[in-house]
Structure formats: structure tokens, C-alpha cells
């Protein structure tokens, strides 16, 4: 089961005469980071909302928007009478001083900052539970969207690892020729430099064995095969957030491929290694999209 990092979820419901709409959008992110746009009535529950989403969405850059609209009649309003009286006395003093009329002072007062504002009631706990259910619904939809996208990612990533394993098998029939070619090239170089009659066959064999052991990459091939197998086992685990773990395994696969390339000393094997690296980079790009 593989989840994409990106997704979208939306849910709405009527809660005690209030229309609650929740929208969630998730993008790639190394950690959990949420940006919230909440109405004043829900600000006291912001920490609860963050903890809820952290547990459900696990990782990524999350944008949350919640709107709460009063159904039916307009939202109750409150008038700050004390502030209006303060503004009135100030305006009257100015009007008296300059001789200006006070005909429209009420309409002017109603437009002053913070004179008229929505009734900032506090959401009762029982209604919060209903709003919370809407948030959970939106989060579940987002996770389902992530899962749907993860199906395509899983198919592509498995293909990349399968291609690396297939390329790995192409190296096997080239190994004997590789060793013989290295041996022949070194022998020819020594003959050209010192002359065939000056080469001690016993010493040459000892040095050749030492050199070929250093050039041997049997252990790297074994580890590469094991890492690919471990990757396939891990990607099939029933774990929602395995992106980091898969990325670490790809790093180990990359180390073995690089070592193969540095030890290859063989044109065809070098070409195979290059193709391995290409497949690995494609897998890494996709892993960035994995939760």
C-alpha cells in the first residue's frame, strides 16, 4: 500500500444551522506543516485541529480552509456602543469647531472600524464534535486521493527496481571476459615496458591475484541484489508512511551501483551501470512524491 504525498479532500455538513465546509490540499513536504484559514468561531480549537490532521495525514505541506456560514437569517451582529459614543463625542467636537453639520453622523459612525462586527460566539463542545467529524471526513477523502495516486507511483517505482535487477543480471556473462581482458592488458603493458624475458611468472601471478581481488565486485553485486529485494519487500508493507525508508534503501542501492562503476574497467559493464543509474534517478524522483 503506497500513498502519494499530494491529494485533495472536501467535506461539508449542516451543524446546528451553520453550513460547515472543509477543504484540504496536500503537497510534498519532508515534515508535517499545516497552514490554516479558520473562522473566528473555531480559533480556540486550532490546536485540536492541528493534532487531528497530524495524526491522520502524517506528513506533507497541508493547506486547510474551513468556512462556517449561518443558514437562513443573517449572522447576528453586535454594536460596540461604548466605542460609538467615544467616536461621536470626538466627531461632535470637530464639527462644532469647524461649523460642520451633524446630519449623517449615525451612518458615518456605523462605518467606523469595530463599531459593527459579527457576533463572535463560542462554538459549544457538542457542536465542535460535529465539526470535527466534517474535518475527519475531508481528511479521509484526501487520504483516499493519495492512495489512488499511489497506485500509479507503485507501478512505476517497481518497474525501475525491476529494470535495475535485470541490468544486474546482464553483468554476469561479462565477468569472465572482464577479468581475462584486465589480465591480458596488464601482461601486455609489462611486456612492452620491461620485456617478456624479464617478467617473473610466479611474482606476476601473485601480483595479478592481488590486483584482481581488488577489482572484484562480487560483494557489491550480492549487496545490490539484497537491497533490491529489501526494497520490494518494504514497498509492499502495510505502512502508510514509508517514503523516508524507501529513500534510504535507494541511497544504499546507489552506493553499490557507484562501486560497480568504479571497479568495472569494462566498457559494456560501464554502459550497464549508466543505465542502472538512470533507472535509479527515475525511482528517486518518484520517491519524493511518496508519503
Q: What is the pLDDT of residues 102-159, one digit of tens each?
A: 777 777 877 777 776 655 566 788 889 999 999 999 999 999 999 999 999 999 999 9
pLDDT given at position 73: 47
The label of the residue with cell 541511497 reads: 251
Residues forming beta bridges with residue 63, ordered by sequence position: 25, 35
pLDDT given at position 188: 67
CATH number at residue 141: 3.30.230
Q: What is the mean pLDDT of the chain?
A: 85
pLDDT given at position 206: 64
**12/265: higher pLDDT:** 12
**Is residue 96 over pLDDT 90?**
no
Q: How many domains does the chain have?
A: 3
Instruction: For residue 74, name the pLDDT band (cuts at 50, 70, 90).
Output: very low
Residues forming beta bridges with residue 9, ordered by sequence position: 24
Residues 131 and 174 in one domain: no
Residues 56 and 88 in one domain: no
Residues 34 and 134 in one domain: yes
pLDDT given at position 282: 95
3-state secondary structure of 6: coil
Residues 113 and 138 in one domain: no
Q: Is 183 contained in some domain?
A: yes
Q: 183-220 pLDDT, tens per residue?
A: 677 666 666 666 666 666 666 666 666 666 667 788 88
Residues 93 and 136 in one domain: no
Q: Is 230 contained in some domain?
A: yes
Compute the average pLDDT of residues 147-176. Answer: 91
The Cα–Cα gap between 157 and 231 comes to 10
Residues 200 and 155 in one domain: yes
Domain that holds residue 178: 151-287
The Cα–Cα gap between 233 and 231 comes to 5
Percent of the chain with pLDDT over 90: 47
Sign of torsion, CA 131 133 134 135? positive
Residues 175 and 235 in one domain: yes
Q: Is 101 contained in some domain?
A: yes
The label of the residue with cell 534503501 reads: 249
Amino acid at each position: 500500500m503506497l500513498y502519494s504525498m499530494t491529494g485533495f479532500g472536501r467535506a461539508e455538513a449542516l451543524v446546528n444551522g451553520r453550513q460547515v465546509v472543509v477543504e484540504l490540499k496536500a503537497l510534498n513536504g519532508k515534515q508535517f506543516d499545516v497552514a490554516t484559514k479558520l473562522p473566528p468561531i473555531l480559533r480556540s480549537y486550532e490546536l485540536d485541529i492541528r493534532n487531528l490532521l497530524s495524526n491522520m495525514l502524517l506528513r506533507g505541506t497541508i493547506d486547510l480552509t474551513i468556512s462556517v456560514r449561518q443558514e437562513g437569517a443573517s449572522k447576528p451582529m453586535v454594536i460596540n456602543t461604548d466605542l460609538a459614543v467615544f467616536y461621536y463625542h470626538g466627531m461632535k467636537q470637530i464639527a462644532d469647531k469647524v461649523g460642520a453639520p451633524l446630519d449623517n453622523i449615525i451612518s458615518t459612525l456605523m462605518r467606523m472600524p469595530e463599531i459593527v462586527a459579527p457576533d463572535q460566539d463560542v462554538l459549544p463542545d457538542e457542536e465542535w464534535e460535529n465539526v470535527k467529524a466534517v474535518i475527519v471526513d475531508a481528511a479521509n477523502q484526501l487520504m483516499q486521493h493519495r492512495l489512488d495516486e499511489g497506485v500509479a507511483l507503485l507501478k512505476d517505482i517497481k518497474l525501475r527496481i525491476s529494470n535495475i535487477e535485470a541490468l544486474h543480471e546482464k553483468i554476469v556473462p561479462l565477468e569472465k571476459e572482464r577479468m581475462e581482458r584486465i589480465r591480458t592488458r596488464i601482461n601486455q603493458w609489462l611486456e612492452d615496458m620491461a620485456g617478456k624475458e624479464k617478467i617473473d611468472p610466479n611474482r606476476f601471478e601473485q601480483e595479478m591475484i592481488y590486483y584482481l581481488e581488488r577489482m572484484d565486485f562480487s560483494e557489491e553485486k550480492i549487496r545490490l541484489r539484497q537491497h533490491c529485494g529489501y526494497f520490494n519487500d518494504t514497498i509492499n508493507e502495510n505502512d502508510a508512511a514509508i517514503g523516508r525508508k524507501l529513500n534510504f534503501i535507494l541511497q544504499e542501492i546507489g552506493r553499490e551501483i557507484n562501486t560497480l562503476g568504479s571497479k568495472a574497467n569494462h566498457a559494456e559493464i560501464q554502459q550497464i551501470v549508466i543505465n542502472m543509474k538512470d533507472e535509479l534517478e527515475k525511482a528517486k524522483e518518484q520517491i519524493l512524491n511518496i508519503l
